[in-house]
Amino acid sequence: MKTILVTGGTGFLGSHLCIRFIAEGHRVLCLDNNYTGRLDNVESILNHENFTFLLHDIIEPIDIDEKIDQIYNMACPASPPAYQGAHAIQTTKTCVFGAINMLELAKKHNATILQASTSEVYGEPLEHPQNERYVGNVNPIGVRSCYDEGKRCAESVFFDYLRIYGINIKVVRIFNTYGANMDPNDGRVVSNFICQALRNEDLTIYGDGSQTRSFCHVDDLIEVIVRVMNSENGLTGPFNVGNPEEFTIKELAEIVLKKIKTKSKIIYKDLPLDDPTQRKPDITQVKTFFDWHPCIALEDGLNATIEYFSKICE
């Protein structure tokens, strides 16, 4: 039995980790400020004897006496409408101060710490697909840079804590992920399209819909993240994690319309600034090191996700 701290534990990915670890018999400390996370996501384990919820913002340091074995640093708003604009400075602080505070905690507890990094570190990629050696093409002063540069800086401090203090770090770069426990109102494309179709509202494609993303079902993603965390010391990454099957946003809208009986049509809106044109992970490294590959095709993953949203979207 391990004691595992999950920051962002009431969020989309964090809640899946907490639920899995409780099912496996571990002690779980779930930390969140509930800005984009929701206690509903962990309702099924809220009263479990091995589960403790800590209302805290990782921007501030935290001292925890109970001995921690592993830290999954998942806390950060991940949807562009949630991390930009009025929240931009908070986002950078969450990425950078949050990483430093959690690394300090890992140092104190001699814990292994995994950083949830992102495909956004590649910015508007000039290489396709993106592998981990690609250093990216990020606009440092754009509306997305609070997240992109914040996550890049977090990777930087992780590797400095490895070099200076020998902390056992793991870094995963998470590509677009979807599934149960997504917030219906957070503005991501999969949640927007499904909820719009369920509500008979028109599906909003930003730009002409030719931009691409590669969508990974959350169950596949959680499995690889856990494998990375539990790998031998020294396998630090960064590792791309995601599903390399690439779709245009227009194709995604058409698939959703085919699956849901709805009066919705497609409408077009302005493309947000600095919205990446294409994105697809090269996952050779995780395949090689962790004997992992995504198993859930978009069509199947969407069916399960539609079922989830049909219970919570009116």
Q: Which parts of this chain interact with ligand UDP (CB under 6 A)?
A: 79-80, 176, 188-189, 192, 204-206, 211, 213, 249, 272, 275
Question: Does the annotation count 161 as an active-site position?
Answer: no
Closest contact distance (angstroms) between CB of 249 and ligand UDP is: 5
Closer residue to ligand UDP, CB minimum distance, 80 or 125: 80
Closer residue to ligand UDP, CB minimum distance, 131 or 210: 210
Task: Single out the catalytic residue among 122, 147, 161, 178.
Answer: 147
Other C-beta atoms lying within 10 Å of the C-beta of residue 107? 15
Closest contact distance (angstroms) between CB of 2 and ligand UDP is: 31
Closest contact distance (angstroms) between CB of 211 and ligand UDP is: 4
Do residues 22 and 43 lie in contact, with contact meaning Cβ atoms separated by under 8 Å?
A: no
Q: How does strand 112-118 pair with strand 70-73?
A: parallel
Q: How would you class 2 by CB atoms within 10 Å of its CB: exposed for 0-12, middle for 13-18, buried for 19 or more?
A: middle
Closer residue to ligand UDP, CB minimum distance, 18 or 180: 180
Closest contact distance (angstroms) between CB of 213 and ligand UDP is: 5
Other C-beta atoms lying within 10 Å of the C-beta of residue 55? 11
Closest contact distance (angstroms) between CB of 92 and ligand UDP is: 16
Please state whether the peptide bond connecting residue 238 to the residue before it is cis, i.e. omega within 30 degrees of 0. Answer: yes
CA distances from 231 to 18, 160, 271 (A): 19, 20, 40
Closest contact distance (angstroms) between CB of 28 and ligand UDP is: 28
Closer residue to ligand UDP, CB minimum distance, 268 or 289: 268
Q: Per-residue b/e over 190-207, b at no fewer than 16 CB within 10 Å?
A: bbbbbbbbbeeebbebbe
CA distances from 115 to 92, 132, 168, 202, 310 (A): 15, 15, 11, 37, 32
Pull the structure tokens for residue 49.
């004897």
Closer residue to ligand UDP, CB minimum distance, 136 or 272: 272
**Nearest in space to 33 (alpha carbons), one of 59, 12, 52:** 59
Closer residue to ligand UDP, CB minimum distance, 110 or 277: 277
CA distances from 108 to 46, 71, 167, 175, 252 (A): 27, 12, 10, 31, 45
Rounded Cα–Cα distance for residues 114 and 58 (Å): 15
Could you give the residue numbers annotated as active site?
147
